[in-house]
Structure 1
Amino acid sequence: MNALVTATVKGVVLATTLLMLSGCKSSAPQMSTMEVRSLQTKEYSDAESILVYRALVNALLDREFTISASDSSSGVLIANYSTTQTNTTEAVTKALATYFTLGLNWIFGDNNMDDILTVDVSANVAPIKSGSRLRINAVAKRLNSDGEIVESQMIVDPNYYQGIFEQIEKSVFLEQNIN
């Protein structure tokens, strides 16, 4: 029986160490507010705000976002995308706990190891002298199986925004040249 207690203690120490290591992050250099704003903003010359707004809605819908709030007259839009992903750290921890408790953890524990990954987008389309200006802000979040936010981070990848802007640009071009 003493060997079982020793093995269980070792398992708990190993699981705790794994959890602590999974929370460590490297510190990347922070972008300034103006740098972030410049990658989130795009101007569309000779395009009315409502046209850019409709193109924005279509681009987000094409990317499987759900529109949660929309006001075309003020140019404001809020959308969300979510999916699930298995949390490998949690899976390993629960597997070890199940092994060292002789299966009791699996029988009595929470066996949901999926995290919910979401991207929340807020956008604003505003008229300017030469057309319209669009700013998109995207925040990625990871929620655990209990729905608690584990991680939240603004998306600052220029390619992410560029992909959306290109879709909008194509849509605006088609609308202007089809009608």
Structure 2
Amino acid sequence: MRLSKIILVLAILPMMAGCNQTIPKSALQLSPESMELRQLQTRSFDTSNEKKLLTAGASVLQDLGYSIDESETALGVIVGSKDRDATEAGQVAAAVLVAALGGGAMAIDKNQKIRASLITNKTKKGTNLRVTFQRIVWNSYGQVSKTQSIEQPEIYQEFFEKLSKAVFLDAHEI
């Protein structure tokens, strides 16, 4: 009886030791690419009024064709989206070629939803605003074919240029 308990303990100990894993330090650090993207997505504003900054951000999104889906100004969050055509000529040509060769119907990208999220964060010197853009693409069968973060600098630059103008005009009540 005593020997079976010792064997049982010896069998369980290695399993329990395997449960105690440490997280590598590199797992909690952002990569240089992540840091660059975060800098592209974030701007600091010399205002402590998050609500006005979010209102200006919502106006810019609407000017860019987005509909506001969610607004929680108390939490510093606004989410907007817009629907766009996602058809690409190369996919259509490939689908026609496959069908002509007897391969049957091939799914092609059809619709996409572009989502924008605004998040504010108060700092000692003002307020940081981070905007992120993502797209979800559905194919001709109604299935999600892609979800991706949009990382083109021009999109972020355009948004922040318009937001800076809106915040300036609001501050000067023009």
Q: Calculate the TM-score normalised by the size of structure 2.
A: 0.70
Shift of 1:44: 0.7
Q: CA RMSD in A?
A: 2.4
2:146 is aligned to: 151
Deviations 1:91-111 (A, max 9, x none): 22443355456xxx7xxx69x
Of 84, 104, 118 in structure 2, the residue corresponding to residue 123 of structure 1 is 118
Q: Is the 8 A contact 2:54 2:118 kept in 1?
A: no
**2:109/2:137 contact within 8 Å kept:** no
Q: Which position in structure 1 is the counterpart of 2:76?
A: 75
Provide the rounded CA distance (Å) in 2 between the counterparts of 1:45 and 1:147: 45
Q: Is the 8 A contact 2:71 2:78 kept in 1?
A: yes
Q: Quickly say closer, same or farther: Cα 1:70–1:46, change in 2 above 3 A.
A: closer
Decide whether the 8 Å contact of 1:47 with 1:172 is kept in 2: no
Pairing partner for 2:155 from 133, 154, 160: 160
- Mark the structure with the bigger radius of gyration: 2
Structure 1 unmatched runs, 5+: 1-29
SS state of the match for residue 129, structure 1? Answer: coil
Residue segments in structure 2 that go unaligned for 5+ positions in a row = 1-30
Give the TM-score taking structure 1 as reference length: 0.69
* 8 Å contact kept, 1:55–1:168: yes
Distance in 2 separating the partners of 1:61 and 1:44:
20
Instruction: Label 1:152 to 1:31 Cα distance change in 2 as closer, same or farther (>3 A).
Output: farther
2:45 counterpart of 1:44 = yes
Task: Give a deviation string over 1:17-51, Cα, whole Å, max 9, x none.
Answer: xxxxxxxxxxxxx8532221111100011352111
* Larger RCO: 1 or 2 (CA < 8 Å, sep 6+): 1
- Structure 1 counterpart of 2:10: none
2:130 paired residue among 126, 130, 135? 135
Q: Please list the CA deviations of residues 51-81 of structure 1 after superposition, one character each: whole Å capped at 9, or x if unmatched.
A: 1101100000001111111111111011112
Q: How many Å apart are 1:119 and its aligned residue? A: 1.5
Instruction: Give, in whole Å, the separation in 1 of the partners of 2:59 and 2:170.
Output: 12
Count of equivalent residues? 143
Tell me which amino acid in the other structure corresponds to 1:73: A
Letter in 2 for 1:40: Q
Alignment partner of 2:172 out of 162, 174, 177: 177
Residue number in structure 1 paired with 2:65: 64
Q: Which segment is superposed worse, 131-140 or 86-95? A: 86-95
